[in-house]
Structure 1
Amino acid sequence: MDTVQEEQPGEPLTQYVQRVIARVRAFDRRHPILWDLHLTAFWLTAAVIDYAGDGWRNVTRNPATPEWLVLTLNLGFAVPLLWRRTHPRTILLATTPLALTNAWTGATLQAALLQLLVIHHIALRRPLRTLLWAIPLCLTPVIVTATRHPRGSADDDIVPQLLSLLLAAVLGIALRTRRDYTAALEDRARRLETERDQQARLATAAERARIAREMHDIIGHNLSVITGLADGGRYAAAKSPARAGQALDAIATTSRQALTELRRLLDVLRDEDPPPPEPTRTPQPTLTDLDHLIEGVRRAGLPVHTVTHGAPPALPPGRQLTVYRVIQEALTNTLKHAGPNATADITLSYDEKGAVTVTVTDTGRGGTPSDAGSGRGLPGMRERTALYGGTLEAGPRPHPDRGWRVRLHLPEDVPQ
């Protein structure tokens, strides 16, 4: 069975032309002098041929013009084109005397039309106000020719030359507008790309900070609980082996939980795409997990007393996580810094509008926890609180009470 292959369409002619033009422009930007030399040599050769072949006599209005003057004028109009891009105003001023001589003597050489290239580059590369004097300056020799050596009406001598000057200027302005527009688009694209990269870096930094905060809250708390259980188990080993065994079991359970959470967080930091979530993965804690948290702290040897005012409202998961993490960090600091025989009190107050107030106090040694200024504990709590427009106060309890107090207040959640 014969197979029919679909004919692939060829490259559009416009794309091919644009690619060729882009290559020519790129070469011109790298080697501008080569293009200037070639263009100048072309017009110089044309001027010499016009002189040597007496072609100028076909258009001149004064056949008696000396040949040496014809050669001088041809060379004077062609050679300065080498600097037309870098010094167009200077070239125009330098060739104006030649143009006036050409008009006054009636030679009317075609090489004078090379001034149109200079007008074009003035419109392309210099302020547009320069055209206000450049075009009248170029038009002056035309008026002189029409006055001294008329050939028909003044309109026939002046209007075509004026239209040529305006066309050269309009082409320069159009190319300049297109170039400026393209440069603006390229600059905007570069800025957007830079902003996109900056936003990506900021998002990455924020995500890593969030992960670091989670690691501090989870791993730090579990290690503090393990330390408390280990200390209690060491003292219980001599008097109550059964309680020591319970402490070891609690240490093993807490360690496994910490290891599971550590693996979950480290998976996020991998360069490759993370694996799909497992059904058994532990979700973010909520207010219903506070009892489990407090029980673990109690097993670690810290007596904790809780008081609740009001019924817990249906808070969004993020606000519940903030309350949980603040209580967790406060109890962790108590385990670390309060010393032996310390106790902790937790007061939770809910109102009908959804505001939450949490106060955690302990009866420890007081003073500032070691990570309050330079670590991630209290700064992490303040960052979480700020996300929901809340306030966090942390510091020693007022005299004569001893210990530390952390107070969190989250206002009602107002829909945006």
Structure 2
Amino acid sequence: MRAFDHRHPLVWDLHLTGFWMTAALIDYHGGGWLNVTRDRDNPDWLVLALSLGLSLPLLGRRAHPRAVLLALAPLALVNAWTGIALQATMLQLLVVFHIALRRPARNLWWATALITTPVAVMAARHPQGSPDQDIAPVLMSIAVAAAIGITVRTRRDHTEALEDRARRLEIERDQQAQLAAAAERARIAREMHDIIGHNLSVITGLADGGKYAAAKSPERAAQALHAIATTSRQALGELRRLLDVLREDEQTRAPHPELTPQPTLTDLTQLIDGVRAAGLPVHTTTHGSPTLSPGRQLTVYRVIQESLTNTLKHSGPGTRAHIELSYEEKGAVTATVTDTGTGAPDRTARRGGGRGLPGMQERTALYGGTLEAGPRPHPEQGWRVHLHLPEESPQ
């Protein structure tokens, strides 16, 4: 019913106005007003006019309650002055209800004064008992009508506030989901860059080495091709797993996707062996023993992987790399990767367009660490990447 009234307010207004107008006319035609009137000598046309005048304006009670009450005031005053005392004046309480429902509460003061003035006039001009017997019931009726209006208004405002809050929470939930999805896609993009980029760089190094070895040592060339095939299968498997995660269609998603744990520091040996097989000599120095959380181990692993990948891509022939790891107490770690390559200018030019350095910086920032990447100080040549992760904060 509320929904229908919201869509077609005129229908309800016409029905309610017609109902009260009919009641007023029955009171007039049936002579019911004679039971409460204080002057029976008033003409019928005046009684009829007041009956219609006190009921018809209710049609605009919702849209313009103050204007309707002002329009009823002179009619109520005539009703009191003549002593007709039609009960239709009680219809002003409907208007009071809508004033309390739709207008500021201060409007109730002048509405009360406007309604009680004719009552006071009737009590003075046509007394019937003490004046308080006429005024007190009217004041109580006004208070009840206003209280009902305020109660309905408070409940309506509370409901609207709850609906608005639910709507905002739903929007916030959707935004959080979108942000989480974007963050997850960015993370997967970093993983794809680190994994696929590294493997392709290794494959490129193996292919170049196999090309030079084919003429002089067919066995070395065959070993290079075997390593290329192994690395390619590994890269293809990693790519397939990442693409399975990116699929959003439940019907096309694998029911049991193949999952592998994220690499840790124990996988560094396999990583370095692959880089060595691609033709880049790598020397490692380790101080202390690792006591890092899995997330910190992944960060160190990816930074070293990206550094070695960049060395394979840009360092040039005859390059050597050195990795120095220093493990400190409470999860602090320092990793430095240097090379002796001559491709530093090329790497500097590509820093702004690639994803490698931003990805390393994002990973480092997650744990409040620092990352420095740039050419080694003169007179040394080559490139240096320095990572430091501070102590883990207590949970």
- TM-score, scaled to structure 1: 0.90
- Report the secondary structure of 1:128's partner residue: coil
Residues 141-156 of structure 1: pairs in structure 2 closer than 5 A = 141-156=118-133
Q: Select the residue among 347, 354, 375 that pairs with 2:354.
A: 375
* 2:174 equivalent to 1:194: no
Q: Select the residue among 351, 366, 371 that pairs with 2:344.
A: 366
> Could you list the per-position Cα deviations for residues 23-48 of structure 1 after superposition, in whole angstroms to 9, with x for gaps in the alignment?
x1000000111111111122222222
> Could you list the per-position Cα deviations for residues 6-28 of structure 1 after superposition, in whole angstroms to 9, with x for gaps in the alignment?
xxxxxxxxxxxxxxxxxx10000
Deviation at 1:299, TM superposition (A): 0.8
> Could you list the per-position Cα deviations for residues 353-394 of structure 1 after superposition, in whole angstroms to 9, with x for gaps in the alignment?
331111111222212356532332111111111111101111
Q: What is the aligned partner in structure 1 of residue 255 from structure 2?
A: 275
Q: Select the residue among 264, 275, 280 that pairs with 1:297.
A: 275
Q: More displaced, 38-47 or 293-302? A: 38-47
Segments of 5+ residues of structure 2 without an aligned counterpart are: none
Q: More displaced, 59-68 or 46-55? A: 46-55
* 2:284 equivalent to 1:306: yes
> Could you list the per-position Cα deviations for residues 27-78 of structure 1 after superposition, in whole angstroms to 9, with x for gaps in the alignment?
0000111111111122222222222232221221111112222122112111
Q: Is the 8 A contact 1:371 1:378 kept in 2?
A: no
Instruction: Give the superposed CA RMSD.
Output: 1.5
Q: Which amino acid aligns with 2:382?
A: G
Deviation at 1:123, TM superposition (A): 0.1
Q: Select the residue among 181, 186, 193 that pairs with 1:204.
A: 181
Q: What is the aligned partner in structure 2 of residue 392 from structure 1?
A: 371
Q: Is the 8 A contact 2:348 2:374 kept in 1?
A: no
> What CA distance in whole angstroms lies between the structure 2 residues aligned with 1:201 and 1:110?
63
* 2:385 equivalent to 1:406: yes
Q: Select the residue among 83, 91, 95 that pairs with 1:114.
A: 91
> What CA distance in whole angstroms lies between the structure 2 residues aligned with 1:374 and 1:189?
43
> What CA distance in whole angstroms lies between the structure 1 residues aligned with 2:350 and 2:50?
87
Q: What is the aligned partner in structure 2 of residue 246 from structure 1?
A: 223
> What CA distance in whole angstroms lies between the structure 2 residues aligned with 1:69 and 1:337?
105
> What CA distance in whole angstroms lies between the structure 2 residues aligned with 1:39 and 1:382?
71
Q: Which amino acid aligns with 2:120?
A: I
> What CA distance in whole angstroms lies between the structure 2 residues aligned with 1:353 and 1:295?
29
Q: Select the residue among 155, 163, 185 that pairs with 1:178.
A: 155
- Report the secondary structure of 1:345's partner residue: strand
Q: What is the aligned partner in structure 2 of residue 219 from structure 1?
A: 196
> What CA distance in whole angstroms lies between the structure 2 residues aligned with 1:390 and 1:346?
18
Q: More displaced, 349-358 or 185-194? A: 349-358
Q: Which amino acid aligns with 1:275?
A: P
Q: Which amino acid aligns with 1:123?
A: A
* 2:75 equivalent to 1:98: yes
- TM-score, scaled to structure 2: 0.95
> Could you list the per-position Cα deviations for residues 220-248 of structure 1 after superposition, in whole angstroms to 9, with x for gaps in the alignment?
10011001100100010001111111111
> What CA distance in whole angstroms lies between the structure 2 residues aligned with 1:144 and 1:125?
29
Q: Select the residue among 126, 134, 141 that pairs with 1:157.
A: 134
Segments of 5+ residues of structure 1 without an aligned counterpart are: 1-23
> What CA distance in whole angstroms lies between the structure 1 residues aligned with 2:3 and 2:260?
59
CA distance change for structure 1 residues 224 and 359 in 2, over 3 Å: closer, same or farther? same
Identity, in percent, stands at 73
> What CA distance in whole angstroms lies between the structure 2 residues aligned with 1:170 and 1:79?
25
Deviation at 1:110, TM superposition (A): 1.1
Q: Is the 8 A contact 1:268 1:274 kept in 2?
A: no
- Report the secondary structure of 1:395's partner residue: strand
Q: Select the residue among 315, 323, 330 that pairs with 1:346.
A: 323
Q: More displaced, 285-294 or 147-156? A: 147-156
- Report the secondary structure of 2:325's partner residue: strand
Deviation at 1:274, TM superposition (A): 5.1
> What CA distance in whole angstroms lies between the structure 1 residues aligned with 2:336 and 2:255?
39
> What CA distance in whole angstroms lies between the structure 2 residues aligned with 1:352 and 1:181?
56
